[in-house]
C-alpha cells in the first residue's frame, strides 16, 4: 500500500491518496540489535539469580562486566522483557479506607442557563505576614465569569 522507498510521492501524499490520516501510518517494527539481544540474555540470567534488582541494579551489574550501558536502555529492555523487580514499590496514591468518596453531582446535569450552577474554591495563599491568607473565588459556570472574590 504505502511505499517508503517511492521518491515520487511522499508518505504524507500517499496517505492522502489512500484516504488515510498521516498519524495512522506507522513504520514497520524493527528487530532488536545483536548488542541489545546480548544484554537481554545477560539481564535474564541475572534476573533469575537476583529478581529484586531494578534497572539501576541491572545497570550496575552490566557495568561491572565492562558493558557500557545507561539506565534508560536498561529500563527499556526490562520493559520489553516484562521484568519487574520484586522489591516493594512506592505507594504514593493509596486512598485511606475510611475516607468517604463523594459523587460528582454535575456529571449528568445539562448546564444551559445563567446562574444555573455556581462554583467556589478555597485556596491557601502564602503571605509574608504572620497569619495565613486564603482566597475564595465564586464563579458562574455557564458564563465562566468570576462573580466575587473574598480574601
Cβ-contact 139, 147 below 8 angstroms: yes
Helix axes 34-49, 71-81, angle to 10 degrees: 80
pLDDT at 117: 86
Q: Is 0.75 surpassed by the pTM of this model?
A: no
pLDDT at 77: 95
Over 80: is that where the pLDDT of 20 sits? Answer: yes
The mean pLDDT of 20-31, rounded to a whole number, is: 80
More confident residue, 131 or 87: 87
The mean pLDDT of 106-112, rounded to a whole number, is: 85
Report the alpha-carbon distance of residue 62 to residue 58 in Å, rounded.
Answer: 6
Q: 1: which strand partners? A: none
pLDDT at 129: 64
> Residues of 71-95 as b/e, b for ≥16 C-beta within 10 angstroms?
eebbeebbeeeebebeeeeeeeeee
> Please, where are the H alpha helices in 19-133?
34-49, 55-64, 71-81
pLDDT at 48: 92
Q: What is the DSSP letter of 7?
A: S
Report the alpha-carbon distance of residue 64 to residue 85 in Å, rounded.
Answer: 20
pLDDT at 151: 65
Per residue in 51-62, pLDDT tens? Answer: 999 999 999 999
Q: Terminus-to-terminus CA distance in the chain, angstroms?
A: 64
Q: 118: which strand partners? A: 140
Amino acid at each position: 500500500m504505502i511505499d517508503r522507498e517511492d521518491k515520487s510521492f511522499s508518505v504524507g501524499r500517499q496517505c492522502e491518496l489512500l484516504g488515510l490520516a498521516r498519524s495512522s501510518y506507522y513504520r514497520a517494527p524493527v528487530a532488536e540489535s545483536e548488542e541489545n539481544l546480548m544484554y537481554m540474555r545477560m539481564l535474564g540470567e541475572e534476573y533469575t539469580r537476583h529478581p529484586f534488582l531494578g534497572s539501576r541494579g541491572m545497570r550496575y551489574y552490566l557495568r561491572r562486566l565492562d558493558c557500557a550501558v545507561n539506565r534508560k536502555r536498561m529500563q527499556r529492555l526490562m520493559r520489553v522483557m516484562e521484568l519487574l523487580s520484586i522489591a516493594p514499590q512506592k505507594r504514593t496514591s493509596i486512598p485511606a479506607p475510611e475516607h468517604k468518596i463523594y459523587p460528582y453531582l454535575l456529571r449528568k446535569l445539562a448546564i444551559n442557563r445563567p446562574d444555573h450552577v455556581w462554583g467556589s474554591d478555597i485556596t491557601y495563599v502564602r503571605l509574608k505576614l504572620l497569619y495565613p491568607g486564603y482566597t475564595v473565588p465564586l464563579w458562574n459556570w455557564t458564563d465562566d465569569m468570576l462573580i466575587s472574590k473574598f480574601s
